[in-house]
Amino acid sequence: MKDLRPVRGRYYIRELISQGEHEEQDFKFAISDARKIARSVSAFANNRGGRLLVGVKDNGTIAGVRSEEDIFVVEQAARMYCVPPQPIEVTAFKIDPGVVVFRVVIARAERRPVVVREADGTRRAYYRVADENIAVPSFVGKAWRGPSGAACAMSLDGTERGLLDLLSERNGITYDEALRLLHITGERAEEAFARLYSLGLIDFRIGHNPVEIIPAPDNP
């Protein structure tokens, strides 16, 4: 267990709370489900990183942590339910006498995807979008993971060139559109996405709508 002797931070924490929940910040009052916390860790790690404010209700009310045991649950979430395990940085801030808020900082993952071991035995990656944790489609996770060694040749095949041609005409296409327009299977599409992503030629637009495959920022 980390040294959690609280430091003064009333105004600092209130300033953070005034920002509300957003792409890099989430409020957590009840810490009881390690897997639910792991989804937040995964979502932040797969995006740009972020922080949890433990002891803060969804509406921004400071309730304070109920027990230092809460931090064990957060650590368990990051170490046991996230693959690969994610480092977290915990600081305790004293708000008022007897009222403490934990700030839990999650860095952007060095290696994506960071997936969660779900209760049903599956593994799923999440991504932070605004103030929500969005489940990432498997084809995005596979692209993040990278192509197999046999698929790393620099020359592009017909499917990959066809996808780039489509993206030169459109702002983005969905997974289903790629299959329909290129007349390919899901497996073949995922191989192409992984190769083109690893080469820095495509990226993904992840939001509340279906994920779109888009030209990489340097290749508009």
Q: Which domains does the chain have, with CATH numbers?
A: 7-134 (3.30.950.30), 137-215 (1.10.10.10)
Distances (CA, A) of 87 to 43, 45, 78, 143: 14, 10, 7, 23
Instruction: Give dist(CA 160, CA 138) in Å, integer.
Output: 19
Quickly count: other Cβ atoms within 10 Å of residue 217's Cβ.
8
pLDDT at 68: 83
- Residue showing tokens 């300033």: 15
Q: How much is the pTM?
A: 0.92
pLDDT tens for the chain, 220 residues long, are 456 889 999 999 999 999 999 999 999 998 989 999 999 999 999 999 999 999 999 999 999 998 888 999 999 999 999 999 999 999 999 999 999 999 999 999 999 999 999 999 999 999 999 999 999 999 999 999 988 655 556 689 999 999 999 999 998 999 999 999 999 999 999 999 999 999 999 999 999 899 999 999 875 4
pLDDT at 30: 82
Instruction: Give dist(CA 25, CA 133) in Å, integer.
Output: 11
Return the ∠ at Cα 168 (arms to 197 and 176), rounded to 5°: 65
pLDDT at 1: 47
pLDDT at 220: 46
φ/ψ of residue 71, rounded to 5:
-70, -25
pLDDT at 4: 80
As given in the structure block, the two tokens for residue 186 are 């899901």
Instruction: Give dist(CA 108, CA 120) in Å, integer.
Output: 26
Q: Are 38 and 78 in contact (CB under 8 A)?
A: yes
- SS3 label, residue 29: coil
pLDDT at 22: 98
